[in-house]
Structure 1
Amino acid sequence: MDLRIFTEPQQGATYDQLLAVARCAEDAGYDAFFRSDHYLKMGQVTGLPGPTDAWITLGALARETSRIRLGTLMTAATFRLPGPLAISVAQVDAMSGGRVELGIGTGWYEAEHTAYGISFPPLRERFDRLEEQLTIITGLWETPLGSTFDFAGKYYSVTDSPALPKPAQDPRPPIMLGGLGPKRTPALAARFADEFNLPFASLEDSAAQFDRVSAACAAIDRDPATVCYSAALIVCCGRNQEEVNRRAAAIGREPDELRANGLAGTPAEIVDKIGRYAEIGAERIYLQVMDLTDLDHLELIAAEVMPQV
C-alpha cells in the first residue's frame, strides 16, 4: 500500500510550511506529496495568509525535493485553459525530473469561483468541458515530436499546435480522476485515468464506485487492473488516546467522528482500517493532514504505520 501526504493549503498555509511538510514526507519515506487546488477557505478557519497557487507551489517543490512524487487532488478544469495547463504541468514535470501527476476534476466549490471571478457553469457543462480538456491535454502530450495536434470541440479548439513542451514522463504524466458520480465519472476514468480516487468515502461507497469504474473499463475493452484505485482520508494518529485527543482538538474535530469518517486512533487502529480499504481494491491512500506544523505526526505514521501496510 502506497501512503501519500495530502494537504489543504487554502485552509491556511504559507509556501514555507508546505515545503517543510514536503521535505519531511520525502525524508520519512512517503510516496508522494499532493495538495488541493482551491482558492478559498472552507469552514470557520481564517485561511490566512490566503490561497497559494497549486502549480506554482509544485514547480517550486520540484526544485527543492529529489524523490517524492508531486501532484494535485484535484485541479479544477474551470480554473485553467487546457493548452496552458498542459504546458504548466509538462514544465513542472521536467523541473522535477519526471515526478508529476495531474489530478483533475470538474470543480465543485462555487464560492471560490465567484470570489475570484471564475466562471462556474452548470454541472453538465462542467463535465463536457472536463472531457474536452482531457482530450486536449493528453493529445498535446502524446503527439509525436515534429507533428501537430488539432481538436475542434464545443468549448475549446486547438489548431495546428506544435504540442510543446513535452513532459519528462513518456508518454505523459499519470492522470487521476475521481468522485462519486455514477455514470460520467466512471466513463471518463475508463477513457483517461491512470488512477481513480475517492475522497472521504465510506468503505461501502468506495467499493461500489470502484466496481463502476471497473465495469466502465470492461465496457471499452480496457483491463480494469490497469487503473490504480485509491482513497483520500483525513488522518489523526496518536501513540495513545491522549495524543489522539490532542491532535483532533488541534484541527477542531472529535476523535470518535474522525474514527468513523477517516483514519484515526493508534497506529494499530489505522493499520486495521487501511487493511479494510485494501480488501476492496485500494492500492494507495492519501493521508489528509490538516495541522501542517505537526511534523511529528508524519514521522509517527511513517515509523509505526507504513511498515505494516
Structure 2
Amino acid sequence: MELGLHIADFTWDGGPKALAPALARHVRDGESAGVTRITVMDHFWQINGVGPAETDMLEAYTLLGYLAAHTSTARLHTLVTGVIYREPALLAKAISTLDVLSGGRAGLGIGAAWNEDESVGLGFRFPPTKERMDRLEEAIRICLQMWSPSEEGFDGEYYQLGRTLNTPQPLQGDRPYLMIGGGGEQRTLKLVAQYADACNIFAGPEAAHKLDVLRAHCDKLDRDYDTIEKTAITRMDPATTADDIVRTGHELAGLGYTALYVYATGITDPTAIIDVMGSAVSQLA
C-alpha cells in the first residue's frame, strides 16, 4: 500500500505570507518520508468537511507547478479537476507542461465537478449532471488525442477543435497517468473502465461495493480489471495516529486497493502531518 499526500487545508501557522516556504518544506519532507504521490484539490473556495468557504485556497495548477520545482520523485496531479473549470485543450496543455517541467511526473485527475455554490459564485456554468458527465467523456477523449501523434480535429457535442496540435508532448510513455475520481456507478465507474489508469473512491463502507461495480463494467467492456489502479482517500485530524492510517490501509489493501491518499484538517503545523504519515509509510511498506 502506497501513501499519497493530499494537500487540502492551507490554514497553517504563519498565514498566507508563510505558505510558499512552508509548502516547499512540506513536500520535500513528504518525499523524504516515503510519500510517492502528492495531490491538491481543484477548487477555488474551500469545501465543506475541510473548512468554511472563506478559508484560504490556492489555484491547483499554479500550485502544482510550484510543487514540481520543490520535488523530484513524487507523481503530481489534482484530486480531482472539475471538467467545467477549464477547456479540455487548455487542460491537456497544462498537464503536458507540468509533465515536461517535472521530468515526467504529471498526472491528470479529473471528474464531473460537484460544487455548485462555488461555480455559481465565480461565474462557472454548472450544467445538469448528464451534461457534465457527457462533457467529462469528451474532455478525456480530447486529452488522450492531444497526447497522441494525431493532430486531427475533434467534433463533439460540446467541444469542437480544428487541430489538436500539442507540442511538446508529455515525457512519460504513451500518455500521462489518468485518474477519474468519483464513485458514480452508472457513468463514472464505466468511464474508468473505458479510459482510466486509476479510480479514486472515498475510504468508507461503500469502498468494496464500488470495486464490484467497476469489475462488472470491466467485464462488459472487455477491460482487464487488474490494469486499473484502485486508490482511495481518507481524512486525518489532530487525533489521528499512524496506527489509524495503517489500519485503514490494511483494510483497503484487503479489498484490492493499492494506494491511499491522506488529507489533513485542523492541523496547523504541517510537520505534524508528515510525522504521522512517515510512521505509517514504514509500517505499510
- Establish whether TM, by shorter chain, passes 0.5: yes
1:30-49 to 2 correspondence within 5 Å?
A: 30-43=35-48, 45=52, 47-48=54-55
Q: Is the 8 A contact 2:107 2:176 kept in 1?
A: yes
In structure 1, distance between residues paired with 2:121 and 2:274: 33
Per-residue deviation, 1:10: 6.8
In structure 1, distance between residues paired with 2:186 and 2:105: 31
In the alignment, which residue of structure 1 is the partner of 2:114?
A: 108
In structure 1, distance between residues paired with 2:47 and 2:157: 33
1:42-80 CA-partner distances (Å, limit 9, x unpaired): 3454744x4321111111211221112111000110100
In structure 2, distance between residues paired with 1:83 and 1:129: 13
In the alignment, which residue of structure 2 is the partner of 1:76?
A: 82
Q: Is the 8 A contact 2:45 2:53 kept in 1?
A: no
Which segment drifts farther, 126-135 or 206-215? 206-215
3-state DSSP of counterpart to 1:18: helix
In structure 1, distance between residues paired with 2:114 and 2:170: 28
Q: Is the 8 A contact 2:145 2:164 kept in 1?
A: no
1:193-204 to 2 correspondence within 5 Å?
A: 193-199=196-202, 201-202=203-204, 204=205
1:156-235 to 2 correspondence within 5 Å?
A: 156-199=159-202, 201-202=203-204, 204-235=205-236
AA of the residue aligned to 2:44: Y
In structure 1, distance between residues paired with 2:104 and 2:131: 32
In the alignment, which residue of structure 2 is the partner of 1:285?
A: 260
3-state DSSP of counterpart to 1:305: helix
In structure 1, distance between residues paired with 2:42 and 2:94: 14
Structure 2 residue ranges without an equivalent (≥5): none
AA of the residue aligned to 2:195: F
What value does the CA root-mean-square deviation take over the aligned residues?
1.9
AA of the residue aligned to 1:305: A
Corresponding residue to 1:298 among 257, 274, 278:
274
In the alignment, which residue of structure 2 is the partner of 1:251?
A: none
In the alignment, which residue of structure 2 is the partner of 1:61?
A: 67
In structure 1, distance between residues paired with 2:128 and 2:4: 32
1:175-219 CA-partner distances (Å, limit 9, x unpaired): 1112121110111001111011102x41x3111111111221121
Normalising by structure 1, report the TM-score: 0.84
Q: Is the 8 A contact 2:79 2:181 kept in 1?
A: no
How many correspondences in the alignment? 276
Larger radius of gyration: 1
Per-residue deviation, 1:5: 0.5
1:22-57 CA-partner distances (Å, limit 9, x unpaired): 122112111111111101123454744x43211111
3-state DSSP of counterpart to 1:189: helix
Per-residue deviation, 1:292: 5.3
Per-residue deviation, 1:295: 0.9
In the alignment, which residue of structure 2 is the partner of 1:260?
A: none
AA of the residue aligned to 2:214: V
Over 3 Å counting, the alpha-carbon distance change for 1:7 and 1:170 in structure 2 is same
In structure 2, distance between residues paired with 1:46 and 1:40: 5
Corresponding residue to 2:33 among 28, 48, 54:
28
Per-residue deviation, 1:11: 6.5
In structure 2, distance between residues paired with 1:107 and 1:93: 23
Normalising by structure 2, report the TM-score: 0.90
Corresponding residue to 1:87 among 90, 93, 96:
93
